[in-house]
Amino acid sequence: MNFNHDKIINNEIIVCQPIDGFRFSSDSIYLAWFANLTKSLKIVDIGSGSGIISALLTIFGSSNIIDAVELQPEMFTCLNKTIQFSGLEDSISPINADIKTFEPEYKYDIAICNPPYKKLGTGREPKNKIDLNARFTTTMSVDDVFSFCKSYLTNSGKLFLSYDAEMVADLFEAGLKYGFEPKRLMPICNDLGMKPKILLMEFRKGAGREMIFEPPLFQNINGVQTELDKNIMQGKWIEPTN
C-alpha cells in the first residue's frame, strides 16, 4: 500500500495516510479541541487510525501519556509513521489490538474516539476495506467503545466522541446502558440556518444526570469562515465554555 505524509497545524504534525483509502477529516481536529485536555493524564485513543487525535492531544496538551489503539494493520502502519515523523515516541504508545479483546494493565482517566456509525446495508459501501471499516460498524460499534470504557476508565473518567447528528440516539442508548451519563453536547454547523451533521459529546462514568448544551460551533457565517473555526484549524486552542 502507498502512503503520503501531510503536514497540519503549522507543520508541527506530520500525518501518514493511505493514498487510496480512509483519510482523516476535520472531525478529528474538532474532537481534540473539544476535549481540551491540559492536565497530565492517562489517555486511550480508541480506533486511532493515522494517529491524528493522539498527536494533537500530545502537542497541544500537557505531558499526556497516550495509548493509541488501532486494529487495521495498514492504519497501524500509518499510526507508527505519524508518531515517528512527528517525534512523539516518548508520549504515544501504538497498540495493534481489537478494542473488544484489549486488556490494558491499568485504567485511564480519559478515552477519546471518532467511531464509525454506519451499519452495513444503510448506505453505499466503499470497495476499499480500510475505508469500509472506518465508516461502518464492521469491526467496532459504540457499544464496543462504551463496554471497554466501563471496564478500563477510572470512576468519573471521561469519554469524548464525535458522531453523526442523525444517529446520536445510539450514543445515549449505549452510554446509559453501560453506566455513562452525557455531560456536554456541541453541534457543528456548516453555516447559519443549517442543521448540524456532527455532534461532539462528553460522557462521564458514574456521574449524575445533568448535561450542558454548548453553543453551536459554526464553521462559517454567511459563507465566511468564522474566527473560532480558523483558530481551531490553526491549533490555537480556545477553551469551550464549561
In a domain, 182, yes or no: yes
Q: Is 95 a residue whose pLDDT tops 50? A: yes
What is the arithmetic mean of pLDDT over 33-48?
88
**124 or 73: whose pLDDT is higher?**
73
In a domain, 242, yes or no: no
Q: Which pLDDT value is given to residue 240?
A: 44
pLDDT in tens, 140-163: 899 999 999 999 999 999 999 999
Please report, rounded to a whole number, the percentage of residues in the chain having pLDDT higher than 70: 83
In a domain, 177, yes or no: yes
Residue pair 35/50 in contact by the 8 Å Cβ criterion: no
Global pTM? 0.87
CATH number at residue 207: 3.40.50.150
Please report, rounded to a whole number, the percentage of residues in the chain having pLDDT higher than 90: 63
Confidence of residue 183 (pLDDT cuts 50, 70, 90): very high
Report CA 37 to chain centroid distance, whole Å.
13
In a domain, 240, yes or no: no
In a domain, 238, yes or no: no
Confidence of residue 237 (pLDDT cuts 50, 70, 90): low
**CA 136 to CA 134: how far, in whole Å?**
6
Q: Which pLDDT value is given to residue 60?
A: 76
Domain count, the chain: 1
Q: Which pLDDT value is given to residue 227?
A: 95
What is the arithmetic mean of pLDDT over 178-194?
96
**CA 223 to CA 64: how far, in whole Å?**
37
In a domain, 130, yes or no: yes
Q: At what angle do helices 168-177 and 142-152 cross, to 10 degrees?
A: 30
Q: Which pLDDT value is given to residue 47?
A: 94
Q: Which pLDDT value is given to residue 124?
A: 53
Q: Is 132 a residue whose pLDDT tops 50? A: no
In a domain, 97, yes or no: yes
Residue pair 161/47 in contact by the 8 Å Cβ criterion: no
Give the least confident one: 84-88, 138-142, 215-219.
Answer: 138-142
In a domain, 229, yes or no: yes
Q: Residue 161's domain spans which residues?
A: 3-233
Give the least confident one: 57-61, 75-79, 125-129, 231-235.
Answer: 125-129
What is the arithmetic mean of pLDDT over 58-85?
88
CB-based burial label for 162 (10 Å; 0-12, 13-18, 19+): buried
Confidence of residue 236 (pLDDT cuts 50, 70, 90): confident
